[in-house]
Amino acid sequence: MKPPTDTLAPPTENPVAGIDQSSGNFRYDVKYELDAGTGLSDRTVDYISAAKKEAPWIREFRQKALQTFLAKPLPTHWATRDLENINFDKIRYYLSSGQKPKRTWDEVPDDIKQTFERLGIPEQERKFLAGVEAQFDSEAAYSNIKEIVSKQGVIFVNSTEGLREHPEIFKKWFGKVIPTSDNKFSALNSAVFSGGSFIYVPPGVKVAQPLQAYFRINAENFGQFERTLIIADEGAEVTYMEGCTAPKFSTSTLHSAVVELVALKGAKIQYITVQNWSPNVFNLVTKRGLAHEEAEIKWIDCNIGSRLTMKYPGVILKGRKARGEVLSIALANDGQHQDTGAKMIHAADETTSNIIAKSISVGQGRSTYRGTVHIPKHLKGCKNNTECDALLINTNSRTDTYPAITVRGDRHAVQHEASVSKVSEDQIFYMQQRGLTEGQAMSLSVNGFINDLARQFPMEYSVELKRLIDLEMEGSVG
């Protein structure tokens, strides 16, 4: 085993940029058995498909998606031109050191195991998780589910296994919530996807503890394209959490996932993301859920890392009384643009949706809220509530809000509110009076700003979030 290579300058050099990325900022020199090379062509797609020994329909699906990706322009007529800095020819689309995820940590190769131990994954698994999948570059290195959960019939595998071993369950919904042609990056993912979680929860099964996936990028110039599909059958309940880190490179890294959720009648899915990529990662993710009658889908989306994140988790409210919710926290520091938001597409009577987005811009960071609420004709009793609050810490911080709301008919209630403010000087003064430093007071105030959202996170995550914000606020004042 080789020693880890620290690629980042010591964290003292720039204490403000990137939250405690020092904890994720290390890498091992891993020897990859499978490498699709640099650049993207139909040969790349064939290589990935062959490596995974996929059924012919999947290979065709990928090839078609590649054509869609090549045909679609970048969405720069509304999105940031920073997207033009992605060089698709310089990215490595598939890297793995083995196809089959290990079921115990002892079997995982040492350097990869060390990675996840440094990130604390096995420890969290023992403490509070029902199952864990740990993805290292393109493939899951480890995947395990507690026996008690698998005995209930819950399936928790990666995308390759899911499509190969349970096509009767997953093929029906695969690519149905987010079609390949949804956007340029969903097409890219559909062409080269690898890894991610395929989960099926049988009718009436309530998974008590969260399932977790951890995504780790280790290689330079790499693109990670995991694909997740979660199906909660009638009356089932499941919570899924994902975390991610990558070492900081001087070159850019691309992460472009597609996440599809299907909540059948009366099911509940909660999907929690704490995104903490290093500041060289383009994080361009498409996430959408389909909520059937009386089902509930809740996205809790927390974006702290990355160079540019564009992510608008959505819910299609397809069945009567379906409910969708997005709770979003974004923190943008120097050099970061968090372009996040939500989409709520009402497609049945008496559906309700709620969006609460809070963003914090520090230094020259830029945070953007972009949202869609759509209530088409001939529905009745639909409700949407949207609240966006932005906090600007420094004089040159930036925030934008771009919602789009369409309502047809007179039987709905839709409201949208947004506000922009800075930290109250009175509050800071009061806390300083009580002996806190300005930095501590600022941290406390920022944590107070997001407190009502952070409280909805599982405890372990909200503690972590608070710690990350404290770190991020260090040195932001004075």
Partner 1 sequence: MSAPTLTSPAKSLTGSFTADAFAAHLASLPPLPAWWLDRKRAAYERFASLPMPARTDETWRFSNIGTLTLDGFTLPEPTRAKLYSPIGIPKAAKLVFANNRLSSREALAADLAKRGVIVDTLQHALNQHGDLVREHLLAQPPKLGSAKFAALHEAFLTDGAFIHVPKGVEVGLPIGVFSYAAGAGAAVFPHTLVVAGENSRVTVVEYFGSATETDAHFAVGANDLYAGHGSQLTYIGKQDWSRAALSFQLNSTVVRRDARVQSLNLHLGARQARHESLSQLQAPGAFSEMLALTVAHGTQEFDQRTLQIHQAPNTKSDLLYKNALLDRAKTIFSGLIIVDPDAQKTDAYQSNRNLMLSDEAEANSLPGLEIQANDVRCTHGATSSRIDPEQEFYLQSRGIAKDAADELLTFGFFEEVLAKLENEGLHDALRDLIKTKFKK
Q: How many CB atoms sit inside 10 A of residue 345's CB?
A: 19
Site size with partner 1, rule: CB under 8 A: 38
| Separation CA 216–CA 139 (nearest Å) | 10
Q: Please identify which residue in 411, 427, 436, 477 interacts with partner 1, judged by CB under 8 A.
A: 411
Candidate ranges 48-56, 72-80, 92-100, 150-158; the one touching partner 1 (CB under 8 A): 72-80
Rule CB under 8 A: say whether 16 interacts with partner 1: no
Q: Partners of 239 in the beta sheet?
A: 270
| Assigned token pair, 241 | 């959490």
Rule CB under 8 A: say whether 91 interacts with partner 1: no
Backbone angles phi and psi of 130, in degrees to 5: -85, -25
Q: How far is CA 212 from CA 199, 247, 302, in A?
A: 11, 21, 15
The DSSP symbol for 210 reads P
Q: Which is nearer to partner 1, 55 or 79 (CB)?
A: 79
Q: Which is nearer to partner 1, 34 or 418 (CB)?
A: 418
Rule CB under 8 A: say whether 416 interacts with partner 1: yes
Rule CB under 8 A: say whether 39 interacts with partner 1: no
| Separation CA 87–CA 252 (nearest Å) | 9
Min separation Cβ 395 and partner 1, Å? 5
Q: Which is nearer to partner 1, 95 or 330 (CB)?
A: 330
Q: Partners of 38 in the beta sheet?
A: 92
Min separation Cβ 418 and partner 1, Å? 5
Rule CB under 8 A: say whether 412 interacts with partner 1: yes
Contact 469, 442 (CB under 8 A): no
Rule CB under 8 A: say whether 3 interacts with partner 1: no
Rule CB under 8 A: say whether 378 interacts with partner 1: yes
Which has the closest alpha carbon to 391: 358, 431, 415, 365?
358
Rule CB under 8 A: say whether 477 interacts with partner 1: no
Q: Please identify which residue in 377, 426, 435, 455 interacts with partner 1, judged by CB under 8 A.
A: 377
Rule CB under 8 A: say whether 438 interacts with partner 1: no
Tokens 């698994």 -> residue: 125
| Separation CA 429–CA 424 (nearest Å) | 9
Min separation Cβ 182 and partner 1, Å? 16
Min separation Cβ 309 and partner 1, Å? 18
Min separation Cβ 70 and partner 1, Å? 10
Pairing verdict, β 323-332 and 296-303 = parallel
Residue type, 406: T
Tokens 């864990």 -> residue: 132
Rule CB under 8 A: say whether 405 interacts with partner 1: yes
Rule CB under 8 A: say whether 401 interacts with partner 1: yes
| Separation CA 221–CA 254 (nearest Å) | 8
Min separation Cβ 385 and partner 1, Å? 10
Rule CB under 8 A: say whether 392 interacts with partner 1: yes
Residue type, 142: Y
Contact 94, 36 (CB under 8 A): yes
Q: Please identify which residue in 5, 251, 419, 424 interacts with partner 1, judged by CB under 8 A.
A: 419
Q: Please identify which residue in 15, 42, 204, 402 interacts with partner 1, judged by CB under 8 A.
A: 402
Q: State the distance between the two ends of the chain, measured CA to CA, in whole angstroms.
A: 45
Min separation Cβ 391 and partner 1, Å? 9
**Residue 85, Cβ density class (10 Å: 0-12 exposed, 13-18 middle, ≥19 buried):** exposed
Min separation Cβ 30 and partner 1, Å? 34
Rule CB under 8 A: say whether 476 interacts with partner 1: no
Min separation Cβ 266 and partner 1, Å? 29
| Separation CA 22–CA 344 (nearest Å) | 36
| Assigned token pair, 255 | 């992460």
Tokens 């409210």 -> residue: 317
Q: How many residues does the chain have?
A: 478
Q: Please identify which residue in 5, 67, 87, 421 interacts with partner 1, judged by CB under 8 A.
A: 421
Rule CB under 8 A: say whether 406 interacts with partner 1: yes
Candidate ranges 31-39, 146-154, 234-242, 413-421; the one touching partner 1 (CB under 8 A): 413-421
| Assigned token pair, 319 | 């069945």
Q: Please identify which residue in 9, 50, 74, 148 interacts with partner 1, judged by CB under 8 A.
A: 74
Rule CB under 8 A: say whether 394 interacts with partner 1: yes
**Cα 305–chain centre separation:** 11
Residues that bind partner 1 (CB under 8 A): 73-74, 77-78, 377-378, 390, 392-422
